[in-house]
Structure 1
Amino acid sequence: HYVADYENLIKKIYRMLKAGGNLVFTVEHPVFTAHGTQDWYYNEKGEILHFPVDNYYYEGKRTAMFLEEKVTKYHRTLTTYLNTLLSNSFIINQIVEPQPPENMMDIPGMADEMRRPMMLIVSAKKKM
């Protein structure tokens, strides 16, 4: 999500990997990066209403706040992340949308993280 030219990066990684080599990466989930602001919508009492997903199919640059700093991120659809790997001869091994473990649900705000996917982990292999 910080890389402007994802396809070019995947091509370079493919060239550098040995046959059968693995690529594992994480990105912010496309649902999380779609809107740009990456914040919940709240009611007048400050209670979380929902997480906005908007402009999902419009890929490209987004500005978000991270640790009180403006950062540039690049939103892509799930289709783009996965099909770019496939069209560059990778085999997708596994896809994970991590969620908080049950033993963390008592931490303030953690239960709300079950309402949206925040991260995406992808494992792929270079063909033999």
Structure 2
Amino acid sequence: MKENKYDDSGFFANYSQMPRSIGGLDAAGEWAAFRALLPELKDKKVLDLGCGFGWHCRYVREQKARSVVGVDLSENMLERARAMTSDSEIEYRRLAIEDIDFHAGEFDVVISSLALHYIKRFDQICEKIHHYLVPGGSFVFSVEHPIYTAVAAQDWHYDEQGEKLHWPVDDYCIEGPRQTRFLDNDVIKYHRTVTTYINSLIESGFRITKISELLPTQEMLDNPDWKDAIRRPIFLLIAAVKL
């Protein structure tokens, strides 16, 4: 399913007001963990899948990457990215992640931030990325954690006083679409297990180098928006290299 909620004017307006949409990478709680997984970027050719406003594209160029291709299905996203970018070595393309088509060994690094849980066939994307990377090339991505995506409601279980009791996990091994609410809209996300993420990478010819479930720092826990993050993981981040 190639869902494109971001070209809905109301949804995009709500998304544009999110802290990460305004403040960029520094306002994204998982950014420090994601950045720590990135390889040396100097002189590298980079592909960003689900590039959104282009924050990661601009960052890797700041790290002296040779060139960047940012892919996104939303014209609203790409229009904003182009308006915020003045760099001839960053190219934005309107394309569904499922439809990417590049040459073998075209890139040194492929990144994706919080986009691949919208993709039905993660294994097929892994195979494509493996083909597009040079030998030894890096694939670094983040997704919503499978503990977070297992139940479509993506919410706590509350007591009668409205206090958070626990985060429910059910149907964990039943992979597939989950219709959830995001920014007051129905959105389809694809739940898959940690096992599927890991084995899809291995079977596609990657070696996993590091995994993060984003243990919150004390600074993050001092922020009311993150105080519950210690109780269950929100993100899964993985770094892998092409064998």
Q: Which consecutive unaligned segments of at least 5 residues does structure 1 have? A: none
- 1:52 alignment counterpart: 168
- Distance in 1 between residues matched to 2:164 and 2:225, nearest whole Å: 10
Unaligned runs of 5+ in 2: 1-116
- Structure having the larger proportion of residues in helix: 2
Task: Return the alpha-carbon distance in structure 1 between the equivalents of residues 157 and 136 of structure 2.
Answer: 44
Larger Rg: 2
Matched, 1:67 2:163: no
Q: Give the SS at the match of 1:83.
A: helix
In structure 2, what is the Cα distance between the partners aligned to 1:56 and 1:106?
30
List structure 1 segments (4+ residues) > 4 angstroms apart after TM superposition.
none
State the Cα deviation string for residues 49-107 of structure 1 (Å, max 9, x = none): 11010000000000111111111000000000000100111000100011321023232
What CA deviation, in whole Å up to 9, does each residue of 1:18-76 have, x standing for no partner?
A: 00000000011110001111000111111001101000000000011111111100000
Whole-Å Cα distance in 2 between the matches of residues 87 and 112 of structure 1? 35
Corresponding residue number in structure 2 for 1:100 = 216
Hey, what's the Cα distance between the residues in 1 that align with 2:135 and 2:222? Answer: 45
Letter in 1 for 2:211: I
Shift of the alpha carbon at 1:7? 0.8
- Any idea what SS the aligned residue of 1:45 has? coil
Equivalent residue letter for 2:221: M
Residue in 2 that maps onto 1:124:
240
Aligned equivalents of 1:31, 1:44: Cα separation in 2 = 24
2:125 pairs with 1:12: no
TM-score (norm: length of structure 1): 0.95
Q: Tell me the TM-score normalised to structure 2 length.
A: 0.51
Aligned partner (choices 204, 207, 226) of residue 88 of structure 1:
204
